[in-house]
Chain A
Amino acid sequence: MIYGEKVREHFLKPHNMGKMEHPDGVGKVGNIVCGDVMWLYIKVGKNSKGQRIISDIKWQTFGCAAAIATSSAVTDLAKGKTLEEALEISNKKVVDSLGGLPPVKIHCSVLAEDALGEAIYDYLKKNNLRIPKKLQERHEKIIADIKEIEERYKEFLQREETSGKKQSREPGF
């Protein structure tokens, strides 16, 4: 396997896996055309100091071993943290906690960072709380990227909706 032992552990026995009923925030990132889709759910509570913390966290992922491992790792890192601390979890921290990832799989860790950020964004937005500038910008970038991918792979996404139709194309995709 091209992955290290920590990735293997998270991939084979992922932590915090599954759907959450009535989450306080949900982050949905990735794209089926690219083969990675990550949904991350959070519950927000308060600690003894009255700060908002991620009291529970769960995820569901369609993707490769690295996508599953980064989903598991990012939720481990975020659980129990204040929202401010959670927003400091970078993709690099996720990669480090996994003892590294192959270069072609680094994008999976970006997806994990984005999923967490989007879940927090969703929570803040729903509760009319102040959204940090950096988070707002990242959210806008994620939305723009999704639009760009949808545009670029229009034909394939339509295929996803119409399903199984007889179709063929030239190579190059």
Chain B
Amino acid sequence: MKVYLDNAATTPVRKEVVEAMQPFFSEKFGNASSLHSFGVEARNELEKAREKTASILKVKPSEIIFTSGATEADNFSLKGTALVARKEGKKHLITTAIEHHAVLHSMQWLETQGFDVTYLPVDEFGLVDVEQVSEAIRKDTFLVSVMAANNEIGTIEPFEEIAKICSERNVLFHTDAVQAIGKIPMDLKDIDLLSLSAHKIYGPKGSGVLVVKENVQIEPLIHGGGHEFGKRSGTENVASAVGLAKALELAEKERESEAKRQTALRDKLIDGVLQIPNTRLNGHPTKRLFNNANFSFSFIEGESLILRLNEKGIAASTGSACSSPNLKPSHVLLALGLKPSEAHGSLRLSLGRNNTEEEIDYVLEVLPLVVESLRKISPFAGQ
């Protein structure tokens, strides 16, 4: 049996999405900037995709900037606003210790360029304290970036409350909504900038959006032919935009039914896995994405766990150091206050629309045996 439980890493492209994208490779291939019929055809479809995306997010079409993905969108939102802020003498940004590396490493780069960054801590469940955000805002603060939901532990942040505070204090608010879109209802009223990615919602890879509200001043990072309202140059990838819009439409349409279905599967998984002795659930017990389960197993290491599960056909991921190129355990798990051994022994199982109850039963049958087999090898078990 093959069980894919790494949907937070990526998802398969849906058939409907592939079909929607198909005409834009060989048939309707025109450059959306061309004046002839081929160009107009491509332009019309691109703008339809933009309008669809905008209407789902309840923003204006002119506020949708198609990008190569969420990493670009995160980079663009932080660096693009920083370039404007610098001219106004503002140099302070606020974020959290558990952001995706696309945000964290952009922040760290901005620090090398003379900007100040405050990294807010999180509690043991991964929640950011709204009060702390408010207290961290300074006179020269121009932007706060807090993810809507965390990719590793699935904790849903109070981003709407934080957005409201930022709006009142006249500070821009950016949120990385990659994991949250299609999973929780999102009100963008007070959100100035929002990053999302298509491949987490059964759309194509290399496709994302940065929502840039019309009040936001942002400098482009990619210069060229002035595409995307002059904010992001490069010949428009119509297939990619159409795919994203379709994926988003379907994700929103099925959000409530999938929430119900996957929550039941997730809870069955969590209840079952916690029967294994010396196991803990990472993340928040209730403020949690419906498709995320993250555990730490004492005495064993995550890469070994992943690879032994892989032998049984189960695909999952870990925050262990051994899975990362720099041999450091997950910054998210460490920020929760986990011991290094617990961070090394973590397992993320992320569900998707294709998972079945039968698969969960299979995992609950196999996982305890795999954990036990590795604990037999460990010097720490039975200590």
Which of chain B's residues have a CB closer than 8 A to the CB of A160? 339-341
Which residues of chain B come closer than 8 Å to A169, judged between CB atoms?
97, 121, 334-335
Question: Chain A residues near B310 (CB, 8 Å)?
Answer: 1
Interface residues on A, range: 35 or more
Within 8 A of B (CB), among A60-119: 60-68, 104
Residues of A within 8 A of B344 (CB): 32, 35, 62
Q: Does A44 contact B (CB under 8 A)?
A: no
Question: Are B335 and A168 in contact, with the CB atoms below 8 A?
Answer: yes
What CA separation (Å) do A104 and B303 show in the bound complex? 13
For B308, what are the chain A residues with a Cβ–Cβ distance below 8 Å? Answer: 11-12
Q: Which of B11-19, B141-149, B246-254, B322-330 lies on the face that meets chain A?
A: B322-330
Residues of A with C-beta under 8 A to B311: 12
Tell me, yes or no, whether B123 is within 8 Å of chain A by CB: yes
CA A108 to CA B310, docked complex, whole Å: 21
Measured CB to CB, the nearest residue on chain A to B308 is A12
With contact pairs A169-B121, A169-B334, A170-B119 given, residues A32 and B341 touching in the complex (Cβ less than 8 Å): yes
Q: Which of B286-321 contact A (CB under 8 A)?
A: 299-301, 303-304, 307-308, 310-311, 320-321
Determine whether A127 belongs to the interface, using a CB cutoff of 8 Å to chain B: no
Cβ of A170 and Cβ of B304 under 8 Å apart? no
CA distance A68 to B300 in the complex (A): 11
What's the nearest-Cβ distance from chain A to residue B343, in Å? 9
Cα of A1 to Cα of B300 in the assembled complex, Å = 19
Cross-chain contact B301 with A62 (CB below 8 angstroms): yes
- Cβ-defined contact, B377 with A156, below 8 A: no
Chain B residue at smallest Cβ distance from A2: B307
From A39, A63, A157, give the contact of B304 (CB < 8 A). Answer: A63
Given the contacts A11-B307, A168-B335, A169-B335, A60 and B378 also touching, CB distance less than 8 Å: yes
B322, B334, B376, B380 — most chain A CB neighbours (10 Å) = B322
Which residues of B lie under 8 Å from residue A12 when comparing CB positions? 308, 311
A159 in contact with B339 (CB, 8 Å): yes
A39 near B337 (CB under 8 angstroms)?
A: no
Taking the closest CB of chain B, its distance from the CB of A43, in whole angstroms, is 18
Shortest beta-carbon distance from A39 to chain B in Å? 4
- Residue of B121, B300, B303 near A168 (CB, 8 A) is B121
Given A62-B300, A159-B339, A166-B124: A68 and B331 within 8 A (CB)? no
**Interface check B122, CB cutoff 8 A:** yes
A50 touches B (CB below 8 Å): no
Task: Judge if B104 is at the interface, Cβ distance under 8 Å.
Answer: yes
- The answer on a CB contact under 8 Å between A173 and B380 is no
**Residue B379 CB within 8 A of the other chain:** yes
- Knowing A62-B301, A173-B328, the reply to whether A68 touches B377 (Cβ < 8 A) is yes
Q: Which of B91-127 contact A (CB under 8 A)?
A: 97, 99, 104, 108, 119, 121-124
Specify which chain B residues have a CB less than 8 angstroms from the CB of A3 in the assembled complex: 307
Q: Which residue of A lies closest to B331 (CB)?
A: A171
Q: Are B378 and A61 in contact (CB under 8 A)?
A: yes
- Asked whether, in the complex, the Cβ of A35 is within 8 Å of the Cβ of B122, the reply is no
Taking a contact as CB atoms under 8 Å apart, the answer to whether A35 and B320 are in contact is: yes
A118-161 interface bits toward B, Cβ cutoff 8 Å, 1 = contact, 0 = none: 00000000000000000000000000000000000100110110
A25 is an interface residue with CB less than 8 A from chain B: no
Q: Mark B43-84, 1 if CB is under 8 A from A, else 0.
A: 000000000000000000000000000000000000000000
Contact of B337 with A166 in the complex, beta carbons under 8 Å: yes
**How far apart sit A41 and B32, CA to CA, in the bound complex (Å)?**
69
- For B345, the closest partner residue in chain A by CB is A62
How long is the Cα–Cα vector from A104 to B331 in the complex, in angstroms? 20
Report yes or no: A62 in contact with B380, Cβ–Cβ below 8 A.
yes
B304 touches A68 (CB 8 A): yes
Chain B residues with Cβ below 8 Å from A1 are 307, 310
**B320 near A17 (CB under 8 angstroms)?**
no
> Which residues in A have their C-beta under 8 angstroms from that of B121?
168-169
**Shortest Cβ distance from A158 into B: residue:** B339
Is A18 at the interface (CB under 8 A from chain B)?
yes
Contact B377 A14 (CB under 8 A): yes
Asked if A171 and B97 make an inter-chain contact with CB atoms under 8 angstroms apart, the answer reads yes
- 16 pairs, A vs B, C-beta closer than 8 Å: A11-B307, A12-B308, A33-B340, A35-B340, A39-B379, A62-B299, A62-B301, A67-B301, A68-B304, A156-B339, A159-B337, A160-B340, A164-B338, A164-B339, A170-B97, A171-B97
Report the 4 A-B pairs with minimum CB-CB distance, sorted nearest first: A168-B121, A64-B322, A167-B337, A60-B379
Query: Other CB < 8 Å A-B pairs besides A28-B379, A62-B299, A173-B331, 17 of them?
Result: A18-B377, A19-B379, A33-B340, A34-B327, A35-B327, A36-B301, A39-B379, A60-B378, A68-B377, A104-B325, A157-B340, A164-B339, A166-B123, A166-B337, A168-B122, A168-B335, A169-B97
